[in-house]
Amino acid sequence: MSFISYLINGISLGSIYAIIALGYTMVYGIAKMLNFAHGDVIMVGAYVVFTTVSTLGLPPALGIVLATVACTLLGITIERVAYKPLRNAVSPLAVLITAIGVSYFLQNVALLVFGAGTKSFTSVVPLEALELAGGELVISGVTIVTIITGIIIMVCLTLFVNKSKAGQAMLAVSEDKGAAQLMGINVNGTIALTFAIGSALAAVAGLLLCSAYPSLTPYTGAMPGIKAFVAAVFGGIGSIPGAMIGGILLGIIEILGKAYISSQMADAIVFAVLIVVLLVKPTGILGKNIQEKV
């Protein structure tokens, strides 16, 4: 029964990684940019919920809405101010370095505003725990909500990209920005929408992460952001189902590694598995080989 409990916890943690990874994979798949500030957007969303609920005493639902709006606006602002001027840069390293700079900027702003101390995060999930097998298996409300939320987000995002007009525009921009613009697609607006959706997902991931692990610091989003990027690469960056599969597998590996091998080695095990996967299949689980014409 303990194995099943670990497995469920792994799926729950993996669902959080998957939600974050969906933001990474959308931005990379459409704009061909690695937004390493994505993890810190998670932290900003969590602080908005913390301030709304714990400091101001407002309802959690309002905190969730405010966090989603704040992170969406932040994502659009980051894209317009930091990434858009570098979209046609000769070296892709320019965008990467800028993303790291934005990440440190957000962390230091949070340090100035909230301090370096750890905040106790109040869970915004009111669902009671579910007891199975006569109480031998207890599944927390946060775990249930996290898994269901991850599945719903992946399904909705897949339908949005494949069925909606805006989603078709995203696919066109991902294939060829120049050709898409000639066909009348607003490339700037499409990329901004991609950042907005990814940042909104980061807000959801932030409140779920801090509800499951109730502590909050300016560095809360750093490691989950890196692991979510690993999950996106693991599943095949640019693939929405791949991000979901990669995230869940990563969460299960991490939890089982902590339980059966070593809690201190869990992160090393996660990255070692990634290295093995990339050696066997460099494009990730659902990634496709792309042949560029010269």
Q: Which two tokens stand for residue 216?
A: 């909050």
- Cβ atoms < 10 Å from Cβ of 118: 12
* Whether the predicted pLDDT of 9 surpasses 70: yes
End-to-end Cα separation, the chain, in angstroms:
56
Is 160 in contact with 22 (CB distance < 8 Å)?
A: no
What is the tens place of the pLDDT at every residue in 65-119?
999 999 999 999 999 998 888 877 767 788 888 989 999 999 999 999 999 889 9
The set of residues, in sequence order, having a beta carbon less than 8 Å from that of 294 and lying 6+ positions away, is none
What is the tens place of the pLDDT at every residue in 161-216?
889 999 999 989 888 888 888 888 898 899 999 999 999 999 999 999 999 988 89
pLDDT higher at 32 or 9: 9
Mean pLDDT, rounded, for 22-49: 88
* Whether the predicted pLDDT of 293 surpasses 60: no
pLDDT higher at 70 or 292: 70
DSSP track, 230-279:
HHHHHH-TT-HHHHHHHHHHHHHHHHHHHHHT-TTTHHHHHHHHHHHHHH
- 279-290 b/e with 16+ CB inside 10 Å = b? eeeebbbbbeee
Mean pLDDT, rounded, for 143-159: 92
pTM of this structure: 0.91
Angle at 228 between CA 226 and CA 230, to 5 degrees: 70
pLDDT-derived band at 294 (thresholds 50, 70, 90) equals very low
Is 40 in contact with 222 (CB distance < 8 Å)?
A: yes
Is 119 in contact with 50 (CB distance < 8 Å)?
A: yes
What is the tens place of the pLDDT at every residue in 207-248?
999 999 888 999 999 999 999 988 988 888 878 888 899 999
Q: At what angle do helices 165-175 and 187-212 cross, to 10 degrees?
A: 110
The set of residues, in sequence order, having a beta carbon less than 8 Å from that of 100 and lying 6+ positions away, is 36, 37
